[in-house]
Each structure stands twice: as C-alpha cells, then as structure tokens.
C-alpha cells in the first residue's frame, strides 16, 4: 500500500470517502502525466499530504505550499493550449484545492 | 586600389574597435540579463528559507530587526528586478510580481512562526526550483 493511501486511511469520516478516492485518482493521473509541471505538482502534493500525516508539517505550512502552488499552476494553465487547459487545471489547481479543503483538515483531526 | 591602404586599414581598425567598445559599454550599462536577475532572486529566496529553517526542531534566537531588514532587502531586489524589465515582455514583469508575492507569503509565515520545519523547507525549495526553472526554461527557448 502506498504512503499516500496509508495517510488517507487515517481519515475515517464516511462523508469524505468519495473525496479521498477522487484525490488519490487525481494524484495518480497527475503522476502519470507527460507534462513535467503536472507531474511534479502531483508528486509534491502527495509528499505534502504524507508529511502532514507524519506530523512533519503544520497546516499553516501546508496551506502556504498549496496557495503558492495555485499561483504557479495558474501561470502554467494559462500557458497551455485552450483544449488542454481544463485538464491541466483539474490536475493542478482543483487537486490542490481538494486537498486543502477536504483532505488535510480531516486528516489533521484524525491524527 | 585604395590610394593609402595602410591609413585606410588603420581607420577601419579604429572604427571596429570603437564599435566593439560601444557595444560592451551598452551591455554593462543595461545591467545583468533577465536570466541572471531571475537566478539572483531565486538564490536570495532559497537562502531566506534556509536561514529560517528550524534547527533541531527549535527556532534560532528570534531577531525581529534582523528579520525586517532581510525581508526589506529581498523585497527591494524584487522591486528592482521588476523595474528593470522592459514593458516589451509583460510576461517577465508578471513572473517577477508573482515570485515577489510568493516571497511575501513565505516572509509572513516566518514572521508568524519564527522558523520553518525542515520538511516544509525541503518542500518549499522544490517548489521554488519548479517556479524559477519554469520561467528560465521558457525564456531560454
């Protein structure tokens, strides 16, 4: 089992079961992407979530990384061809938002 | 044939040297290139993160005046870099503005916590690498 899955398994709240599945799937899709930026963003977001779960980072620190990554991702998305923008946004900005709003707050409560 | 070949060649050499010297002085007066400026901003930003990383889980002795002075110095570097950019490439100005915003967020976090966890520092350095390298790659192509 992956370290990310271990971290997600700590969240027992059934109301976020779908969010957990969606987050893990988006991370996997991002890591498999051919675009270096999307790939790196997914790997970083996975690592941040694991670090929070291991109590190596605080929520303040996680939020700082996510908000900064959103700025970088907006630039990246804008640089993509129109047809590719929706997917790029989904795999970078939306995934980070999902982690910041649904995954990490509940993960911290579960620790 | 030229009537005075030696004189002609000497004048030509002087003219070439003058033009070369003029071009060199222009390069000096316009300062470092965009790439060099971005690299300097990246180095300053990364050094700031390293400086405020907790050592052994504890913050170093907090010196508000030294922190304020360091933040002001780096902020000025961003302001100068933005001012040095020509309006002809708005993407460069936007990039520097965004990077200055990232730095201010990091400075605000340090101001609040006084030191950053080693994990955060490692993750942040990776993120900064991604940020600055993305632009350096774009401008070099």
Closest in B102, B123, B134 to A51, CB measured: B123
Q: Is the pLDDT of residue B29 over 60?
A: no
Domain that holds residue A14: 3-110
Mean model confidence pLDDT for chain A:
95
How many residue pairs from chains A and B have C-beta atoms closer than 8 A?
63
> The domain containing residue B25 runs over which residues?
1-30
CA B29, chain centre distance (Å): 17
The per-residue DSSP string of A60-96 comes to HHHHHHHHHHHHHHHHHHHHS-HHHHHHHHIIIIIHH
CA–CA separation, B93 and B91 (whole Å) = 6
ipTM: 0.91
- Residue B90, pLDDT > 50, answer yes
Pick among A39, A57, A79, A104 to test the B interface (most B CBs inside 10 A) = A57
Domain co-membership, B25 together with B42: no
Task: Determine, for residues A44 and B112 on separate chains, whether the beta-carbon distance falls below 8 Å.
Answer: no
Q: Where is pLDDT greater, at B28 or A28?
A: A28
pLDDT at B19 (0 to 100) = 58
Rounded average pLDDT over A6-31: 96
Q: How far is CA A80 from CA A26, A38, A91, B29, B63, in A?
A: 19, 12, 13, 36, 44
Judgement on whether residues B21 and B40 belong to the same structural domain of the protein? no
Do residues A73 and A46 touch, judged by C-beta distance below 8 A? no
Best of B130, B132, B138 to disrupt the A interface (most A CBs within 10 Å) is B130
Task: Identify whether residues B74 and B89 lie together within a single domain.
Answer: yes
Nearest residue, CB atoms, B105 vs list A48, A68, A79? A68
Q: With the C-alpha atoms ordered B51, A42, B101, A76, is the resulting torsion angle positive or negative?
A: positive
For chain B, the average pLDDT equals: 83
- A-chain CB neighbours of B126 within 8 Å are 40, 44
Residues B50 and B108 in one domain: yes
Do B109 and B40 fall into the same domain? Answer: yes
Question: For residue B2, what pLDDT is reported?
Answer: 55
Predicted confidence at residue B134, as pLDDT, reads 77
The domain total for chain B is 2
Helix (H) / strand (E) element for A2: namely: none
**Per-residue pLDDT, B85:** 86
Q: A11-20, B20-29, B32-41, B129-138: which has the highest mean pLDDT?
A: A11-20
Confidence of residue A47 (pLDDT cuts 50, 70, 90): very high
pLDDT given for residue B25 in this prediction: 45
Min Cα separation B5/chain A (Å): 57
Confidence of residue B47 (pLDDT cuts 50, 70, 90): very high
pLDDT band at B26 (very low <50, low <70, confident <90, very high): very low
- Whether the full predicted model's pTM is greater than 0.90, yes or no, is no
């Amino acid at each position: 089992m992956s370290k990310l899955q271990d971290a997600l398994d700590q969240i027992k709240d059934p109301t976020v079961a779908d969010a957990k599945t969606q987050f893990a799937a988006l991370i996997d899709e991002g890591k498999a992407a051919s675009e270096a930026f999307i790939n790196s963003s997914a790997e970083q977001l996975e690592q941040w979530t694991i670090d929070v779960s291991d109590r190596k980072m605080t929520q303040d620190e996680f939020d700082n990384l996510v908000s900064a990554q959103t700025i970088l991702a907006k630039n990246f998305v804008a640089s993509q061809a129109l047809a590719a923008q929706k997917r790029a946004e989904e795999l970078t900005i939306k995934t980070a938002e999902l982690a910041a709003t649904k995954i990490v707050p509940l993960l911290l409560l579960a620790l | 044939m030229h009537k005075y070949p030696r004189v002609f060649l000497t004048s030509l050499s002087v003219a070439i040297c003058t033009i070369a010297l003029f071009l060199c002085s222009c390069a000096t007066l316009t300062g470092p290139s965009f790439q060099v400026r971005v690299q300097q901003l990246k180095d300053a930003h990364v050094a700031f993160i390293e400086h405020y990383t907790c050592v052994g889980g504890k913050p170093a002795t907090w010196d508000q005046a030294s922190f304020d002075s360091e933040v002001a110095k780096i902020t000025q570097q961003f302001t100068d870099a933005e001012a040095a950019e020509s309006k002809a490439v708005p993407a460069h100005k936007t990039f520097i503005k965004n990077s200055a915003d990232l730095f201010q967020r990091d400075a605000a976090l340090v101001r609040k916590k006084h030191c950053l966890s080693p994990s955060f520092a490692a993750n942040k350095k990776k993120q900064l690498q991604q940020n600055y390298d993305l632009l350096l790659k774009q401008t070099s192509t």
